[in-house]
Amino acid sequence: VPGRDWDRAVELVSSAEEVALACHISPDGDALGSTLAVGLALRAVGKRVVASFGERGFTVPRLLRFLPGQDLLVDPDDYPAAPELMISFDAPTADRLGELARVAGKARELVVVDHHPSHVGFGTLNLVDPGAAATAVLAEELIRRLGLPVDRDIATCLYAGLVTDTGSFRHSSTTSEVHAMAGRLIATGLNPEEIARELWDRSPFGYLRVLGLALERVVLEPETGDGLGLVWTYVTRDDRAAYGLPYHEVEGIIDVVRRTDDADVAVILKEDDGGAWQVSTRSKGGIDLSRVCATLGGGGHAKAAGFTSHQPVEQTMAAFRALLRRAA
């Protein structure tokens, strides 16, 4: 991100009295963490702040409820209709803002803070760096350039973003700068053990049963194109209903499926409450899944991407397999 864009962002935020923040629907730790971090920092200096992830009658996913600053969140219906200044976090396209996509089009100034390579620059100012490990990295820089302090609560939000998007400091995005940032955040007194537990180790018992169903069905296809192994499975709405499991509880199953060394590409199809299939894909090799998923109407990063499908599982996999062969 060029220095003049940062300067302009600092100008816009400093001169605004009210700031409307937003992140993508079905927020993860990076989206909500970045939003709440900046929200807390701006509220601390007396700005009026509202935040939302564009879902009517929203509920914050259980694993993100420990994040400080949730009192900043409002329903999309209570969000300003045409904000003076809106800041969007972790969304590559306006439609990822759900109900707030239309508001984004009406904001006088729209600052887009993001790290997706598939982003389309839908802001009046785009602070977009595909090289950033997380949007939280850019959120921290914005707070720093505004000259605002990062207290333990703000650090907790930023750390949640950093640890989520780097896969607990395992992905290729994990650099010395990432660890330096983690060090700065931990120095505020936050507890990494507590955050890791909140994010990953507080699943309801039914999660284990549904994970069992997903693993029972798992398929390994060793010959998908250029020696590219493909491992995949699915979880239905009925699987979750049998154990009273909300959709967001199954989002981490992909991290189990991708563990096998016998496949470079891992896929899980998750049926949401509306009956649509949310497809998560992961790659260990050189294949760029953000391009494959973009062809199917989604997007993401080279090694972690996704899309939504309204077709039956087998049909979706046939389409994905064909694109994978072509991309290999």
Interacting residues toward ligand 5GP by CB under 6 A: 92, 280, 298-301, 304-308
Which listed residue (165, 239, 249, 271) binds Mn ion by CB under 5 A?
A: 165
Q: Work out the angle at residue 54's Cα, subtended by the Cα atoms of residues 50 and 55, and round it to the nearest 5 degrees.
A: 120
Task: Tell me the Ramachandran region of residue 61: left when phi exceeds 0, alpha when psi lies from -120 to 50, beta otherwise.
Answer: beta
Distances (CA, A) of 201 to 196, 197, 204, 205, 311: 7, 5, 9, 11, 33
Tokens of 310: 């309204």
Q: Which is nearer to ligand 5GP, 44 or 319 (CB)?
A: 319
Q: How far is the CB of 119 from ligand 5GP (least distance, A)?
A: 9
Partner in contact with 94, chosen from ligand 5GP, Mn ion, none, beta carbon below 5 to 8 Å by kind: none
Q: Which is nearer to Mn ion, 135 or 233 (CB)?
A: 135
Partner in contact with 299, chosen from Mn ion, ligand 5GP, none, beta carbon below 5 to 8 Å by kind: ligand 5GP
Write down how long the chain is.
328
Which listed residue (67, 90, 109, 232) binds Mn ion by CB under 5 A?
A: 90
Which listed residue (25, 28, 118, 269) binds Mn ion by CB under 5 A?
A: 28
C-alpha 45 chain-centroid distance:
27
Closest CA to 56 of 74, 31, 76, 73: 76
Q: Which is nearer to ligand 5GP, 71 or 273 (CB)?
A: 273
Partner in contact with 31, chosen from ligand 5GP, Mn ion, none, beta carbon below 5 to 8 Å by kind: Mn ion
Which residue has tokens 């994978």? Answer: 324
Does residue 30 bind Mn ion (CB under 5 A)?
A: yes
Give the integer Cα–Cα distance in Å for 20 and 11: 16
Give the integer Cα–Cα distance in Å for 75 and 196: 28
Which listed residue (31, 50, 195, 317) binds Mn ion by CB under 5 A?
A: 31
Q: How far is the CB of 224 from Mn ion (least distance, A)?
A: 27
Task: Tell me the Ramachandran region of residue 72: left when phi exceeds 0, alpha when psi lies from -120 to 50, beta otherwise.
Answer: alpha
Q: At what angle do helices 176-186 and 135-145 cross, to 10 degrees?
A: 60
Q: Which is nearer to ligand 5GP, 150 or 327 (CB)?
A: 327
Q: Which is nearer to ligand 5GP, 158 or 254 (CB)?
A: 254
Q: Which is nearer to ligand 5GP, 280 or 316 (CB)?
A: 280
Does residue 114 bind Mn ion (CB under 5 A)?
A: no
Partner in contact with 156, chosen from Mn ion, ligand 5GP, none, beta carbon below 5 to 8 Å by kind: none
Does residue 293 bind Mn ion (CB under 5 A)?
A: no
Q: Which is nearer to ligand 5GP, 109 or 258 (CB)?
A: 258
The neighbour count for residue 2, using CB atoms within 10 Å, is 8
Task: Tell me the Ramachandran region of residue 80: left when phi exceeds 0, alpha when psi lies from -120 to 50, beta otherwise.
Answer: beta
Q: How far is the CB of 120 from Mn ion (least distance, A)?
A: 16
Q: How far is the CB of 160 from ligand 5GP (least distance, A)?
A: 15
Q: How far is the CB of 318 from ligand 5GP (least distance, A)?
A: 19
Is residue 258 within 8 Å of residue 269, measured between CB atoms?
no
Which stretches of the chain bind Mn ion, using CB under 5 A? 28, 30-31, 90, 135, 165
